[in-house]
Amino acid sequence: MQPVRRVMVVGGPGSGKSWLAGRLAAISGLPVYHMDQIHWQPGWVEREPLEKDLLTRMIHARPEWIFEGGHSRTYRDRANRADLLVWLDLPAGLRLRRILWRTLRHHGRSRPDLPEGCPEVLGRQTVDFLRFVWRTRETSRQAVRRIVDAPPPHLHLVHLRSPAEINHFLGGCRPWQGGTGLLMAGQDEA
């Protein structure tokens, strides 16, 4: 089997996409790209949708990547290029607690997966974001479900629903000895 060289990590806010992408990068040597760095500009200024489309497609075109995050308008393009789609489908309550925790942990600073100039602040913005996460918990799942229900034939799918499943998945990942890339449990060296 060929090593995985393009990994699409999706899931709702607070599901651990950035964390998982970092762990997979440490194992595989693949570069990580964060959708939040494309979505936001300094000062929490949102990019225009067409500019986000262009920037995501530029990453999709690269030979190797771990691309974590949303922008469902480009999910199909990303899935067509990816070798592996990892869907972190954790309960909304857990995700909301994680969002609050990361906001407190990074208060006054930008998280590593955000551009500089986007500091976490506990306030109205956080409350609005938590409401958004709750309100869109099912619609965001549906966007991923459309890919999972009709994936490109080459795409490996991993659907993880709990922290224990995530840890089990990571435990089965190892580096490809032929260079950058990832092998999963059950894969033999190519």
Q: Residue 171's CB: how many other CB atoms inside 10 A?
A: 9
Structure confidence at residue 10 (pLDDT): 97
Type and span of the H or E element at 65:
strand 65-68
3-class SS of residue 2: coil
CA distances from 13 to 62, 65, 94, 177 (A): 25, 20, 10, 33
Query: How many angstroms from the chain centroid is the CA of residue 3?
Result: 19
- C-alpha distances (whole Å) from 118 to each of 1, 11, 43 are 41, 21, 5
Phi-psi region of 49 (alpha: psi -120 to 50; beta: other; left: phi over 0): alpha
Q: Taking the model in full, what pTM does it have? A: 0.92
pLDDT band at 49 (very low <50, low <70, confident <90, very high): very high
Q: Give 9: exposed, middle or buried? Use CB within 10 Å, 0-12, 13-18, 19+.
A: buried
Average pLDDT for 15-33: 97
At 124 the pLDDT is 87
Greater confidence, 161 or 130?
Answer: 161
pLDDT at 179: 87
pLDDT surpassing 70 at residue 189: no
| pLDDT beyond 80 at 186 | no
Q: Mind listing the pLDDT tens digit for each residue in 113-157?
A: 999 999 988 888 889 988 988 998 888 899 999 999 999 999 999
Query: What is the spatial distance between Cα 181 and Cα 81, in angstroms, rounded to a whole number?
Result: 15
Q: What is the pLDDT of residue 190?
A: 47
Q: 42-46, 47-51, 65-69, 135-139: which has the minimum mean pLDDT?
A: 135-139
Q: Averaged over 95-100, what is the pLDDT?
A: 93
Query: Where would I find the H helices in the chain?
Result: 17-28, 35-39, 49-60, 75-81, 92-105, 124-135, 137-149, 163-171
3-state secondary structure of 39: helix
Lowest mean pLDDT: which of 12-16, 49-53, 138-142, 152-156?
138-142
Domains of the chain, each with CATH number or no CATH: 6-180 (3.40.50.300)
Is the pLDDT score of 61 beyond 60? yes
Mean pLDDT (whole number) for 170-175:
96
Residue 173, pLDDT > 90, answer: yes
Confidence of residue 58 (pLDDT cuts 50, 70, 90): very high
Q: Is the pLDDT of residue 188 over 70?
A: no
